[in-house]
Amino acid sequence: MYGGNRYEDEKAFQMSKQITLILSLFCIGACAPTQSHVERTIDNGVEVIVNREQPYIMKGEPKSLSLQEELIIDLEKESIASLGLTDVWGFDVNSEGYIYFFKSPLSQDDLVLKFDPQGNYVSSFARRGQGPGEVETPSFQKINDRDELPIMERGKSIIMLFNKNGNLVDESRLGVNIGSMGSMVYPVENGNYLIRRSLRGELEGTLDFVLSLFDPQLKEIIELDRFEIIQPIRAPKVRLPMQASVWCVSQDYIYVGNEKNGYEVRVFDYEGYLRRKIRKKYHPVKVSEEFKQTIKEKLEHTPPAVKDKIYFPDRFPAFQFIFADDKGHLFVMTFERGNNPKEYIIDIFNQGGVFIGTISLDVYLNDSFFAPGAPFDSWVTAKKDHLYALRIKPNGYKELVVYKTLWQ
């Protein structure tokens, strides 16, 4: 909960913000006809942007984004497969364009492989084990603003920080129980921690995933989001895709989307204050027979005690993944099919939360049993005028595609 001073500060902030928003809305309506059709409201002092289904043409904003394929790192290639990277667990990119692949947590050698911006293998680090600088049960996190890669020891609440060269620079015990499945720790720039924990749910056969912001002393500041995961063996019935939520961090903000809120992304600052809600009107996508058949094939060898519990909703959630670039653009991957097979439409929003365009992209997400993007979040990212996305080849191997982003 907030302390007394924080509560008063927030009241004052929201009052000031509400007055500013009212004046801004008046000015927008009077002075900027290209923006006058963007619906902006205020909900309990928080700005709400309600976007229409079609992109807006905004003064000073690019009208479109195109992707130019620049590099492919093919994990089937013998020189790369020999590194043990065939079962890639995810990836991330630092500010210099170096790519860090995460191997399966069950690998017996180094768990992280570093490649240069041209796709050449450089080095490996974070050996699996129990010795100094080694990781026994890794959970890979996102690279922070200092180009450090955090790796968490699941079940031990230990976070290890590796610098861009793969050297261990810090190791600390968190002192808070974060569970194991799907847990995540992200040190944000102001010293706080964004932590996702798995806790026992109120209902039999459920887990609650809780996303919270903690201060440097690991005292919880505020809970940002909570969603429920069904444990198939113990639950009476199981919906596929499972419900989940998505998050990303960029330019001093934390973006959180939860299926229960429809097409809405909530924008928090690093102190945990809710600054904006981004909404968009959309047509829900029907769950196809093709999707159902794909799931049934994956469950072919699953015991009937689980298969008999499976059911499908009529419609997919509003979106399945979000990510942001270092310029403040928010990308929302929907379930709407794109221009080519395996591609999906990704909506693009500017720094103010206004819908400005779309792209069509083939990107691999971890598991079709889950919606949006759970339990891991390391399949697509955008930095330094490039977009990076894992995709699946027809033969089942993965490849990382690096695109140049061209705004026009």
Task: From first to last of the 408 residues of the chain, give the pLDDT tens digit.
Answer: 333 445 455 555 555 555 444 444 444 443 443 455 899 999 999 999 999 999 999 888 888 999 999 999 999 999 998 998 877 888 999 999 999 999 888 888 899 999 999 999 999 999 988 888 788 888 888 888 889 998 888 767 788 999 999 999 998 887 777 665 567 788 888 889 898 887 776 666 677 888 999 999 889 999 999 887 777 777 778 888 776 688 888 878 999 999 899 999 999 999 999 999 999 999 999 999 988 888 888 888 888 877 888 889 999 999 988 999 998 999 999 999 999 988 999 999 999 999 999 999 998 875 555 433 333 457 899 999 999 999 999 998 899 999 999 998
142 CB contacts (<8 Å, ≥6 apart)?
A: 92, 150, 186, 249, 377, 378
> Distance between CA atoms of 314 and 378, rounded to whole angstroms?
28
Residue 357 near residue 373, CB atoms below 8 Å? no
**Residue 258 CA to its chain's centroid (Å):** 12
Tokens of 184: 């995540």
The amino acid sitting at 227 is: F
Burial class from Cβ neighbours inside 10 Å (0-12, 13-18, 19+) for residue 284 reads: middle
Three-state DSSP class for 50?
strand
Q: Which residue has the tokens 């026994």?
A: 136
159 CB contacts (<8 Å, ≥6 apart)?
A: 141, 150, 151, 152, 153, 171, 172, 174, 185, 187
Residue ranges of E strands in 237-354: 238-239, 245-250, 253-258, 264-269, 274-280, 310-311, 321-324, 330-337, 344-349
